[in-house]
Amino acid sequence: MAFDPTFDLFQLPEEYLELRAAIRDLSEQYIAPHAADVDEQERFPEEALKALIDSDFNAIHVPEEYGGQGGDSLAAVIVIEEVARVCGSSSLIPAVNKLGTTGLILAGSDELKKEVLTDIAAGKMASYALTERGAGSDAAAMKTRAVRDGDEWVLNGSKCFITNGGKSTWYTVMAVTDPEKGASGISAFMVRDDDPGFSVGGFEKKMGIKGSPTAEIYFEDCRIPAHRIIGEEGSGFKTALQTLDHTRPTIGAQALGLAQGAYEAAVKYVQERQQFGKDIAQFQNTQFMLADMRMKIDAARLMVYTAAANAERGEAEGGARLGLMAAGAKAYASDVAMQVTTDAVQLFGGYGFTRDFPVERMMRDAKITQIYEGTNQICRMVMGRQLLQEIKP
């Protein structure tokens, strides 16, 4: 068979290439100049939020009928990757907006979608609240309770490690509605930041992504209208895990962007830095390190894009592969991000350890991608369970 030069299995369609060019341009112009300051001052990247809202990239995934762009999962990962390439903290704006609304999009009523998603499309933000002090990887061990009282649900408890906590208007909150039923006694709700009994506090001091607040949120007899439940009572744990099947590729994309940013900085630097009378780029050791970085990034990109495209096929077609591929893409890309950013610091030598160059920030930012939205150990466990179902003796 003769090779067909128009064969483009691994070439993104034109519309995604245009999207990448647009978000790259925006990121370099409006987000990159503030990335070091955002990290240094540990402040929320307001400039990034404004730039993303102005060009409708803040919540690209929101369906058009609610005022969003209606971007698919592949579009979302490209946006997140490109923002992360210049600023890890800012990339959490589109990523967490997707995380905080995916359960609603998958399982919520039209009424609730309209109420929340139009807000998000207009520039408000959403967060996802699953984790508690005593329920991290073992998410079903949560203690936050929701009790029905007439036309309201009353929530009591607290959630921790809430990304963009305090900045978000809406929170997808998982709470126990029937303690006798374990995971099947958990329901999901949309809580607004001005609901009575809701408060935010306990901001974490972190190693990286310092521009994105990580907060504790509290519910003290927090009353919300009955229609704010997502789907059926008792379906909340499944909705929470389905959400992660859809959003783990976005963390893979954040990791990919951080790796790409560090790799590009390293490739430039080694062609300027002279030692032993020549650019360090001329040493085979340097080229081998760069080649390894590049191979890992290329492989991670294929996994992240494939997992995102697969998420669009939905449960029917994607089936069990949805969770398997999402967990694999997230775990692999985040491991790559840690390796590549660490190697980039190494190539910069002593300078890489200073804040004069962005690679040390990227290395610190990369670490969390191995931890949140399921530690890479949990991701491997999710994969292990599913891959054993695929092949039987």
Active site residues: 373
Q: How far is the CB of 75 from ligand COS (least distance, A)?
A: 22
Site for ligand COS (CB under 6 A): which residue of 80, 244, 256, 290?
244
Q: Taking each helix axis as running N to C, give the angle between helix 284-318 and helix 321-348, from 0 to 180 degrees, rounded to the nearest 10.
A: 160
Question: How far is 225 from 229, CA to CA, in rounded Å?
Answer: 8
- Does residue 56 contact residue 288 with C-beta atoms inside 8 Å? no
Stretch that binds ligand COS, among 109-117, 301-309, 357-365, 369-377 (CB under 6 A): 369-377
Check binding of 130 to ligand COS (CB under 6 A).
yes
Can you tell me whether residue 366 is helix, strand or coil? helix
Question: How far is 253 from 62, CA to CA, in rounded Å?
Answer: 18
Residue 338 or 345 with smaller CB distance to ligand COS? 338
Question: How far is 118 from 53, CA to CA, in rounded Å?
Answer: 13
Check binding of 358 to ligand COS (CB under 6 A).
no
- Strand bridging mode 126-129 / 170-176: parallel
Question: How far is 219 from 223, CA to CA, in rounded Å?
Answer: 9
* Interaction mask 310-339, ligand COS, x per CB under 6 A: -------------x----------------
Check binding of 255 to ligand COS (CB under 6 A).
no
Name the residue whose CB lies closest to ligand COS: 374
Q: How far is the CB of 322 from ligand COS (least distance, A)?
A: 8
- Strand bridging mode 274-275 / 278-279: antiparallel
Residue 139 or 256 with smaller CB distance to ligand COS? 139
Stretch that binds ligand COS, among 151-159, 165-173, 241-249, 265-273 (CB under 6 A): 241-249
Alpha helices in 27-130 (DSSP H): 32-41, 46-54, 73-84, 88-107, 110-121
Stretch that binds ligand COS, among 62-70, 138-146, 203-211, 271-279 (CB under 6 A): 138-146
Q: How far is the CB of 107 from ligand COS (least distance, A)?
A: 11
Q: Compute how many other C-beta atoms are within 10 angstroms of the C-beta atom of residue 193.
A: 18
- The binding site for ligand COS (CB under 6 A) comprises 128, 130-131, 137-140, 183-184, 237-238, 241-242, 244-245, 323, 372-374, 378, 382
